[in-house]
Amino acid sequence: MQSEPAFVSRRDLLSLIGAVSGSAAMYHAMTSLGFASDSGYKGPIKLEGDPKGASVLILGAGLAGMTAALELRKAGYQVRILEFNNRPGGRNWTLRGGDSFTELGGASQTCEFDQGLYLNPGPWRIPYHHRALLDYCKRLGVALEPFIQLNHNALLHATNAFGGAPQRIRDIKTDFQGQVSELLAKVTQQGKLDEAVTKQDREILLQALRYWGALDNNYAYKANLISAEFRGYAKDPGGGLTAVPIPGEPVHLSEILKSRLWVYLQNFARHSFQTTMFQPVGGMDMIGKAFAKEVGDLIRYDAKVTRIQQDDSGVTVTYTDLKSAGTPQQAKADWCVCTIPLPILSQLPLEIGDRMKAAIDAVPYSPSVKIGLQFKRRFWEDDEAIYGGISYTDLPIRQIAYPNTGFNGAGKGVLLGAYLFDGPNAYEFTSMTPAERVRRAVGFGAMIHPQYNAEFENGIAIAWHRVPFTLGCAGNWSDQARGEHYENLCQIDGRIVLAGEHASYIPAWQEGAILSSLDAISRLHERVVKT
Amino acid sequence: MQSEPAFVSRRDLLSLIGAVSGSAAMYHAMTSLGFASDSGYKGPIKLEGDPKGASVLILGAGLAGMTAALELRKAGYQVRILEFNNRPGGRNWTLRGGDSFTELGGASQTCEFDQGLYLNPGPWRIPYHHRALLDYCKRLGVALEPFIQLNHNALLHATNAFGGAPQRIRDIKTDFQGQVSELLAKVTQQGKLDEAVTKQDREILLQALRYWGALDNNYAYKANLISAEFRGYAKDPGGGLTAVPIPGEPVHLSEILKSRLWVYLQNFARHSFQTTMFQPVGGMDMIGKAFAKEVGDLIRYDAKVTRIQQDDSGVTVTYTDLKSAGTPQQAKADWCVCTIPLPILSQLPLEIGDRMKAAIDAVPYSPSVKIGLQFKRRFWEDDEAIYGGISYTDLPIRQIAYPNTGFNGAGKGVLLGAYLFDGPNAYEFTSMTPAERVRRAVGFGAMIHPQYNAEFENGIAIAWHRVPFTLGCAGNWSDQARGEHYENLCQIDGRIVLAGEHASYIPAWQEGAILSSLDAISRLHERVVKT
């Protein structure tokens, strides 16, 4: 068994490469939503050959920087890291009770969550095919638990459909699939597919549609115990003398179509979001902390880089110590791996070539806002049987995500009360004060879960365009920028190479940061060993 | 928010009840596969009124029996339980290293799993809508973790399709949905749906099919970055200069149809198997143990019931102590809740009416075989990126289920190497010695995972028709038996009432046992309080 899909012949691959560029527009649409996701990792990197004491200065102790540090030291380099924050991880970040954070504009928040509760303001899920990240989790002993992306009992909500009443995902999903199957089965029976499907296949197709669509013997999808076995019941089967079940009435296809709730169904089928997904037990920053256990001795925290210079003999980085705010200091090394996010980097004096400079300037960062809300009890579980997963809405909050840990417990809980990625709502919420963001999230959320009003306790809101160490969430490559600038961004420029999710085809994912770093240090090492 | 599906009007319900009987045949087909699953639980039972010291003898310390004991004692009854095994739980059972088990026929097995590994030979998953069971888990402090039913990266395998090569579930699922969408989109465009779908809806349907089916702008499903975003890639997107992704070639609809792998897709959409499912952390018997913490003082273990008598004044149960094998003993009480599985009960001398006796005799039990296999390493994760979930095959082993805990860990692991439920294979495996069952499971499994040959360490095999305390897996009601006997089985007969999954419409599920028990003790209590 290999991890490659079946049925890819080498001959086909060549023609497919041609197809790639044609689909670029759609691909961009998907990557800009943070959807692109797979990984070409083939196991731990092997940096063979002696670097002969060469030194590398790494800028940024996020996953890209710490991956580089871990592997380069192992390969024999002298390594140091400069990090802006007073903690490792960068966007690999978890907020817990007592943590405080000051955003650009000066607003400060202190997280008031109870012990054991947390919010991951940055990455929060790990696909099974992010092999590099999973391998580091394994090597570094980071415990994982499932992240529920699709919870059939979570909700889909459109303000102007169904009188504003949220619908269960299982109903919309099953009823759409059932009625689509019914339509296709009917035209198949009527012989309207004859050109596209052979007579032999037609019979099997009918059978398959009946199974797949929960159709009855006449290929109809309707209220009966067949559809109920998929969509759920009006009265559930039980025990003893009160046990007979009653099916519910499907939502008519026309209503589903007009509601546009079908747009959300793809969120459950995408490769990036397929089962089995993971989250680290205890918070995403368990990964950053595990890396720091290995390379923490190399990190200088609170170091704000202000200038990057290079010449034939090496790299000189000027930085200020944010704690002392004293005289600017300098760090020197033979080489530099720079993982500083592009919106920051583009504002620094840099001694690099025009091509890389143009590339750095060409990539805007997506806005993103995440809001964590603590509630007195896990009412979504107790009252509504929603255990983990995500409800989607066309309200400005876009999503409500339920905790994927502590299931069925008696204590309090933290919801992700809003997750705005890109789009006008993300900018709008960024422009508000943190308190106002939280207030809005509670107000909108109460339209889906009225229990918000009685159960809300406190909240915290991170708007990534106001986060001083990134000035945005993640690299938002346009198609044109990819074509013109991507390779220039990734090339080694003299003694400097860039790494991070922005230097990958998996933007906004930790896997992109790690793969980018591994690719960058492979090329750097090759050059070092050659010289 | 309520847990009921949307759009069930009372008017509709009446007509639906009529539809129920018409769908009985299909319903039977599903219940006999253990598929029926929902729950009408409305919160903790309230047994109001004073039983005035009435006593209840409960037969069986499975979930039905212990539920009855817990609630009846709380309501003021004098309660005792007789249990055949030397542990609580009944079919709620977990095997760990050091546990031994002797089946009918005399074959003994001792489980050789390493510490921390286990097999649940009976129930192994808990749907989110099994409200009663989840409520008891909450009240009794049983920690839960997700059970992965659908893992997109697990396998579907048909011996005579694709040259015997297993296919990734994500490929079959995405490619089937994509090509079905394409077919329907084409006939929609050609105006062949005009009668069934309005012109306005037609435009939205096309758009929805494009999203849902991963179609391109011409409504074609083919190898491109659109389909790859759902089915996965031939070459994954990466980082740095080796990052450009290449899509894979879809499996043609005709091949999917002929392979019949589509039959398995429904296993991932059924209400019984939908996300979010659960398993108790540490093994299913954590539930039985948690119940026993409450009612263990009431249980007499190793007590084999040999006779059940009743008259106007009470119930007398004769039993032998399996440890001493001495003189038969008697236990007396005012009332009896009997949860003994029907294949055992039908062989006991019972003083009950003809109707209940006929009902007890009318329900055969399904055969079921589960085989646990320990391997030296979690090769399914390391080599194949399969984290939890189930692979399906037409080989006699039917399923290979991967552990849903300890993900990405470095240690050993136990697979469910076969799960035969009903059907000839289940009987065939039941007739073998345990060692032969394990040998076959390894042999067949190696056709899907060749690593079996090098990595297998030990196994254990439970065939439920040879389990002395049940003589089968679960009640297998025929439609005819339901119609003739179900109510007679559940009625109170003098001073005796039956409970267990067999006395429910959710056979083979723990929820059925609990709901049946709650219904039985409600009626019993009503009678006690009245007299």
Span A36-67, pLDDT tens digits: 334 568 899 999 999 999 999 999 999 999 99
Among residues B513, B356, B510, B469, which one has the least CA distance to residue B82? B469
With a CB-CB cutoff of 8 Å, which residues 40-59 of chain A face chain B?
40-41
Cα–Cα dist B519/B415, whole Å: 37
Residue with tokens 């589903």: A256
- Tally Cβ neighbours within 10 Å of residue A14: 10
A345-400: pLDDT as tens digits: 999 999 999 999 999 999 999 999 999 999 999 999 999 999 999 999 999 999 99
Residue with tokens 């990190």: A299
Which tokens sit at A410?
């008696």
Residue with tokens 């928040």: A109
**Quick check: A15 pLDDT over 70?**
no
Give the closest of B17, B22, B35 to A246, CB-based: B17
Cα–Cα dist B528/B79, whole Å: 14
> Does the distance separating the beta carbons of A231 and B5 come in below 8 Å?
yes
Cis, bond preceding A276 (omega within 30 deg of 0): yes
Give the closest of A151, A231, A239 to B512, CB-based: A239
Residue with tokens 């009408």: B40
Cα–Cα dist A447/A400, whole Å: 12
Domains and CATH numbers, chain B: 10-89+286-363+476-530 (3.50.50.60), 95-153+275-283+366-466 (3.90.660.10), 169-251 (1.20.1440.240)
Residue with tokens 């919106």: A343
Residues of chain A contacting residue B240, judged by C-beta atoms under 8 Å apart: 490, 499, 503-504, 515-516, 518-520, 523
Inter-residue contact B97 to B117 (CB < 8 Å): yes
B283-324: pLDDT as tens digits: 999 999 999 999 999 999 999 999 999 999 999 999 999 998
> Does the distance separating the beta carbons of A248 and B8 come in below 8 Å?
yes
Give the closest of A131, A257, A513 to B201, CB-based: A257
Give the closest of B245, B272, B276 to A148, CB-based: B276
Cα–Cα dist B117/B406, whole Å: 10
> Does the distance separating the beta carbons of B146 and A239 come in below 8 Å?
no
A189 CB within 8 Å of a chain B CB? no
Which tokens sit at A143?
């415990």
Which tokens sit at B433?
């010695």
Which tokens sit at A107?
């607003």
Task: Give the dihedral sign, CA B228/B234/B236/B237.
Answer: negative
Which tokens sit at B496?
């005796």
> Does the distance separating the beta carbons of A275 and B389 come in below 8 Å?
yes
Q: Quick one: pLDDT at residue B39?
A: 52
Cα–Cα dist B531/B519, whole Å: 19
- What is the arithmetic mean of pLDDT over A407-429? 95
Cα–Cα dist A167/A171, whole Å: 7
- Tally Cβ neighbours within 10 Å of residue B194: 11
Q: Quick one: pLDDT at residue B240?
A: 96
Residue of B10, B200, B236 for testing the chain A interface, max A β-carbons within 10 Å: B236
> Does the distance separating the beta carbons of A271 and B229 come in below 8 Å?
yes
Cα–Cα dist B244/B238, whole Å: 7
Q: Which residues of A266-276 are buried (b: 16+ CB within 10 A; e: fewer)?
A: bbbbbbbbbbb
Cα–Cα dist A189/A203, whole Å: 9
Give the closest of B7, B134, B389 to A249, CB-based: B7
- What is the arithmetic mean of pLDDT over A105-111? 98
**Quick check: A7 pLDDT over 80?**
no
Cα–Cα dist B213/B72, whole Å: 54
Q: For A252-300, what is the HEC assignment?
A: CHHHHHHHCHHHHHHHHCCHHHCCCEEEECCCCHHHHHHHHHHHHHHEE
pLDDT < 50 stretches in chain B: 1-38
With a CB-CB cutoff of 8 Å, which residues 458-487 of chain B face chain A?
486-487
β-pairing, A118-119 with A95-96?
antiparallel
Cis, bond preceding B188 (omega within 30 deg of 0): no
As a whole-number percent, the residues of chain A with pLDDT over 90 amount to 89
Give the closest of A180, A260, A274 to B184, CB-based: A180
A258-315: pLDDT as tens digits: 999 999 999 999 999 999 999 999 999 999 999 999 999 999 999 999 999 999 999 9
Angle, helices B131-140 vs B285-295, to 10°: value is 60
Chain B: nearest CA to A298, how far in angstroms?
24
Q: Quick one: pLDDT at residue A439?
A: 98
Confidence of residue A195 (pLDDT cuts 50, 70, 90): confident
Give the DSSP letter of residue A89.
Answer: B
**Quick check: A14 pLDDT over 50?**
no
Among residues B447, B380, B385, B382, which one has the least CA distance to residue B415? B380
Inter-residue contact A99 to A111 (CB < 8 Å): yes
Among residues B402, B413, B463, which one has the least CA distance to residue B437? B463
Q: Quick one: pLDDT at residue A163?
A: 95
Residues of chain A contacting residue B211, judged by C-beta atoms under 8 Å apart: 262-263, 265-266
Residues of chain B contacting residue A247, judged by C-beta atoms under 8 Å apart: 16, 19-20
Among residues A287, A272, A279, which one has the least CA distance to residue A92? A287
Among residues B306, B345, B344, which one has the least CA distance to residue B326? B306
Q: Quick one: pLDDT at residue B214?
A: 98
Contacts of A513 (CB under 8 A, 6+ apart): A62, A63, A64, A67, A339, A499, A500, A501, A504, B239
Confidence of residue A18 (pLDDT cuts 50, 70, 90): very low
With a CB-CB cutoff of 8 Å, which residues 391-450 of chain B face chain A?
404, 407-410, 449-450
Which tokens sit at B471?
């003589």
Q: Quick one: pLDDT at residue A35?
A: 30
Q: Quick one: pLDDT at residue B194?
A: 72
Q: Which residues of A300-332 are buried (b: 16+ CB within 10 A; e: fewer)?
A: ebbbbbeebbbeeebbbbbbbeeeeeeeeeebe
Cα–Cα dist A239/B515, whole Å: 5
- β-sheet bridge partners, residue A331: A317
Inter-residue contact B312 to B87 (CB < 8 Å): no
Q: Quick one: pLDDT at residue B37?
A: 34
Which tokens sit at B428?
């065939």
Among residues B378, B382, B380, B379, which one has the least CA distance to residue B390? B380
Q: Which residues of A65-74 are buried (b: 16+ CB within 10 A; e: fewer)?
A: bbbbbbbbbe
Inter-residue contact A276 to A51 (CB < 8 Å): no
